[in-house]
Structure 1
Amino acid sequence: MDKEKNVAIVLCAGRGTRMNSEIQKQYLLIKGKPVVYYSLYAFEMCPFMDEIVLVTGKDEIEYCRQEIVEKYGLKKVKSIVTGGKERYHSVFEGLKVIKNSDYVYIHDGARPFIDQELLQRACDSVHIHKACVVGMPVKDTIKIISTDGFAQHTPDRSTLWMVQTPQVFQYKMVLEAYENIMQNPGVQVTDDAMVVEKMGKAKIKLVEGSYKNIKITTPEDLEIAEIFCKDKM
């Protein structure tokens, strides 16, 4: 029986306007290393991960190759490709360069604190359910508001999760879903699970992630990341 193949797509093409920095958030430094390095390193060290595809902006390809992949000896990064206008375009560019994969792990490069236990939980789940995303139950009460800012409804908190990445799928399933959405550009999606739900008609299993698996979006997130990184050292 042939060994299954697992590939990670790490997205690093976003502009990060809320960071208020001329440097893209994925390349800001945490303890002297770019934010995206930590995600790439986690996949590099994952024993069942075979290959990494890094998706970035056209102007950042050489920087990523020289200052991240080569500098830190990331051997599993086999492709660095240019992303697209929207997130789902970037994911599709990553999917297109993958050959003969069984499972694909789609991850935001601005989430530096994935760990091996989280990746193993996702791996175990996708083998059973074919499509899963990591996340955590919300801690706060959530309000549904009207367009003019008034509370309309308070959903049951026990049914609400914060969705994170990686989001993991059978490769053929997610590729077909993305091929479908590229033919239907008017469909609104915010993550890979929505693409598979709408275009692949699959059910998505939620898997325990980590409250430390934050996305670096604002300057405050970077301060928190420094603390989390210090705890790991």
Structure 2
Amino acid sequence: MKYTVMMPAAGSGQRMGAGYNKLFLKLDDKPILAHTLDVFEGDLACEGIILAVKPDERQAIQSMLEQYAITKVTAMVDGGGERQNSVAACIRAYKGSGIVLVHDAARPFIRRAVINELVQVAAEHGAAIAGVRAKDTMKFASAGVVEDTVDRDKLWIIQTPQAFRYTLLQEASNKAEDEGFLGTDESMLVERLGHPVRIVESTYDNVKMTTQEDLVFGEILLNRR
């Protein structure tokens, strides 16, 4: 089943401490963003990629697309101050009516089998998100004092991609914008509509390149693959 992926790529990378957009940092001599785009470039089910970028990085990203033969980017829109704003810009730029995925540009290790399952579940149920089960003991604490030990069997660590029927995601995004609500992910916006969101089990190596330690782990994953 075909899909389009929306990818916010206008972050600052402050936690990485690079002093510039972390997506330009390299893993095995190739930018993180190029690694992530490659996953979708090679997926026959992917019809297109919409990138939200910083205006002053547009030319550098265009050069990257040409250098690494990325041909599926159908649009580059100006990113907003928050991730949600960037995704909203991608939603407005989309011209279809099918299944859309929202994916972190700094997650280059998502597996295509997970993507395909997300698309199938979203087509059937409207909304599906990638996640892995919590492995550690989880505590609920306030002011540094434990109040409760949480049943981890019911806890999931949520990743991207997150897949939706376009009309559902559009409705959720518009409602959040109209009400001035800022969520932590697109699933949260859809949940506000009262629509159920299914979880598709992903892999623990679908990590987001956020800190210097993540880059070390990323190099290990590349060498393993």
| Structure 2 length-normalised TM | 0.97
Equivalent in the alignment of 1:130: 126
CA distance in 2, matches of 1:115, 1:32: 21
Unaligned stretches of 5+ residues in structure 1: none
Equivalent in the alignment of 1:91: 87
1:59 and 2:56 correspond: yes
Of 25, 32, 51, 1:35 maps to 32
CA distance in 1, matches of 2:176, 2:51: 21
| Structure 1 length-normalised TM | 0.93
CA distance in 2, matches of 1:152, 1:34: 43
Unaligned stretches of 5+ residues in structure 2: none
1:1-233 matches, cutoff 5 A: 5-66=2-63, 68-146=64-142, 148-185=143-180, 187-198=181-192, 200-232=193-225
CA distance in 1, matches of 2:28, 2:97: 34
Contact 1:133 / 1:207 at 8 angstroms: preserved in 2?
yes
With over 3 angstroms needed to count, the CA separation of the structure-2 counterparts of 1:101 and 1:39, relative to structure 1, is: farther
Q: After superposition, what is the alpha-carbon deviation per residue over 1:89-142, rounded to whole angstroms, capped at 9, x for unaligned?
A: 000001111102301000000111012111111122112211000010011111
CA distance in 1, matches of 2:211, 2:25: 11
In the alignment of these two chains, the number of paired residues is 225
> How well do the aligned residues superpose, as a CA RMSD in angstroms?
1.2
CA distance in 1, matches of 2:46, 2:182: 31
Three-state SS of the structure 1 residue aligned to 2:135 is: coil
Percent of paired sites with the same residue: 34
Off by >2 Å, runs of 4+ in structure 1? none
CA distance in 1, matches of 2:2, 2:167: 12
Q: Displacement of 1:183 after TM fit?
A: 0.6
Residue type of the partner of 1:84? G
Contact 2:122 / 2:164 at 8 angstroms: preserved in 1?
yes
